[in-house]
Structure 1
Amino acid sequence: MAAPRDHRVLIPIDVLGGESVPRTVVDAFASVPVVLLGYRVVPDQTGPGQARDQYESRVRDELDDVQQTFEDAGCLDVSTRIVFTHDRLETFERVAVETECDGVLLVNPAPVLESVLVAIRSDVNLEYIAQLLGALVAGTDLDVTFFHVTSDEGDRDRGSELLDDAVDELIAVGVDRDRVDTALSVDGSPSREILNVASEYDLLVVGESRPSIRRFIFRDRAKTLARKTVDPVLVIRGEYLEVEDAEESAATGDEHDDAP
């Protein structure tokens, strides 16, 4: 098994649009390093630099307050960045690579955060996903359910084996077996079924499975899930993402800075 390391989560927040990080989420993610990304989507006809001149100080003030909340909750490694962009999801992806974040949290309200649904697509990156989950649930009472959707009954056994493997990986990083459950569904639409089941949980986690669908997940599935579920959604990046991929998306023309 790979040596354990610190895992980092990017949390984009449209502070000028009224977004905030629920205290339940702050408490749950205080056990891992986080990067708070204060962002603002600007119209195509507005240059990011122009938006920065107009709004940066307001975004900074709001973001500093969120950072303080994380620090008060015990988060020992929290940093901030500010971005003005024309394409938020593309920017999230690029900044995640630049800041070496393992996951991107798409924030939704979370009045209670006790249970986590982890949608598993394949056995790719199971160990990596388990390591981040293990770091996340450490020091919390969060229960984890691995969930897999198969297209027909003939794949049920393979899906069950996949879920068993996911449980084994999470136990291997120190999570008690009695905090981990599994669920399998046979359905033609994974996204629809994930949404149906996610309504019974407080946090939805989706993992990327292979490079060829990276953009599909970030631009479509994660966007759809975040828009249609009332829960926060954590997208766990694959280890295969490289900086070269981020450089391609930098052409969106956004402007950003690092916190001092």
Structure 2
Amino acid sequence: MTHILVPLQVLEGESISAGLAALLEPTYVTLLGYHVLPEQTPPDQARQQYEARATAALEEVAAELGADEGTADYRLVFTHDAEQTFDRVAAETRSDVYAIPGATGPVDRLLVALTGDVAVDRIQSFVAELIGDRDIGVTLFLATDDERSGRQLLETTARSLADRGVDVRTELSVDEPPLEALADAAIDHGAVVVGERAPSLRTLVFGEEAERIAAESVGPVLVVRHLEDADETARSDR
């Protein structure tokens, strides 16, 4: 079962939409409730002040995701460095995917980006598992300056997903800024799937890319991690 890490700024009222909760049903979810502290504020002080309220909010979301059935859990952290915390918790939980929450209703089509130096096989496997036998279509998207090889990659990946019964379309963007083309394509999709290095998770979470995709698509972004050799070894020991 795919393990998904969902960072939430619970003290800012961030939660998971009903559409995202339904989309993630086939997966195991770890909610990472986090609050970024000013440098001068000790984490223990913040925990004393905010822990009860944050924990109550996390428990409510975890229950909606199936914590009672063993398909979700949560952690709460007060940190000075959110990026470092995400990386640490992802490694500790052996998470396959990050989810950047966004508002969405029932998801009937995913936009799956293959642009950049990403692990296409991992993205493809995740998408197939996430969809399962549900009636959710996929649009494979690729921005490139090499039309021939780009089209070949899209066709190969589309064929593999179609063989699993997935309704697949393809969209190729040639010689356009990749992020702008992706944001435009995301508008008509309930959620977006990208690889961690296309662009990087940190850029997606903390940079203008996340704001742009969120503004254009409104929906969540699922980021398939690029696992290093150490992570792969740990995974084989599950």
State whether TM-score is above 0.5.
yes
Pair 1:196-2:184 in alignment = yes
Given the two structures, how large is their TM-score scaled by the length of structure 2? 0.86
Is 1:158 matched up with 2:158?
A: no
Q: State TM-score, norm by structure 1.
A: 0.79
Equivalent in 21, 24, 27 of residue 22 of structure 2 = 27
Contact 1:32–1:75 (CA under 8 A) maintained in structure 2: no
1:47 aligns with 2:42: yes
Contact map agreement 1:13 1:37 (CA 8 A) in 2: yes
Match of 1:14 in 2: 9
Could you say which residue in structure 1 is the equivalent of 2:200? 217
Q: Which residue of 2 aligns with 1:136?
A: 130
% identical aligned pairs: 34
Unaligned residue ranges in structure 2 (runs of 5+): 232-238
Moved over 6 A (4+): none
Secondary structure of the residue aligned to 1:149 is: strand
Q: Does 1:67 align with 2:55?
A: no
Provide closer, same or farther for how the CA distance between residues 42 and 202 of structure 1 changes in structure 2, counting only shifts above 3 A. Answer: same
User: Is contact 1:8-1:102 (8 Å) kept?
Assistant: yes
CA distance in 1, matches of 2:155, 2:178: 19
String of CA shifts for 1:25-74, please: whole Å, max 9, x gaps. Answer: 111101111111111111122122221121111111111111111118x9
- Choose from 229, 236, 258 the match for 2:224: 236
Alignment of 1:119-134 (within 5 A): 119-122=113-116, 124-134=118-128
Check the 8 A contact 2:115/2:178 in 1, yes or no.
Answer: no
**Aligned counterpart, 1:80:** 74
Decide whether the 8 Å contact of 2:22 with 2:106 is kept in 1: no
CA deviations over 1:100-125 (Å, ceiling 9, x no partner): 11110000111342211011025752
- 8 Å CA contact 1:145–1:180 kept in 2: the answer is yes
Query: SS in structure 1 opposite 2:65?
Result: helix
Provide the rounded CA distance (Å) in 1 between the counterparts of 2:69 and 2:83.
25
- Give CA deviations for 1:68-112 in whole Å, capped at 9, x if unaligned: 11118x964211111111232332222112101111000011134
Match of 1:145 in 2: 139
> For residues 10 and 35 of structure 1, what CA distance do their matches in structure 2 show?
5
How far 1:161 moved relative to its partner?
0.8
Structure 1 vs Structure 2 CA RMSD: 2.2
SS in 2 for 1:108: coil
Matching residue's letter, 1:220 = T
**Contact 1:97 1:241 (C-alpha < 8 Å) held by counterparts:** no
SS at match of 1:164: helix
- Equivalent position SS for 1:30: coil
- Take 2:111 and 2:196, find their aligned partners in 1: how far apart are those partners? 15
Q: Read off the aligned partner of 2:201 and give its amino acid letter.
A: F
Partner of 2:196: 208
What is the Cα deviation at residue 219 of structure 1?
2.0
Q: What residue in structure 2 maps to residue 101 of structure 1?
A: 95
Matches within 5 A, 1:176-191: 176-177=165-166, 179-191=167-179
Q: Which runs of 5+ in 1 are unaligned?
A: 1-5, 244-260
Which of 65, 89, 112 is 1:118 aligned to? 112
Query: What residue in structure 2 maps to residue 58 of structure 1?
Result: 53
Matched letter for residue 160 of structure 1: R
Aligned length: 226
Shift of 1:241: 6.3
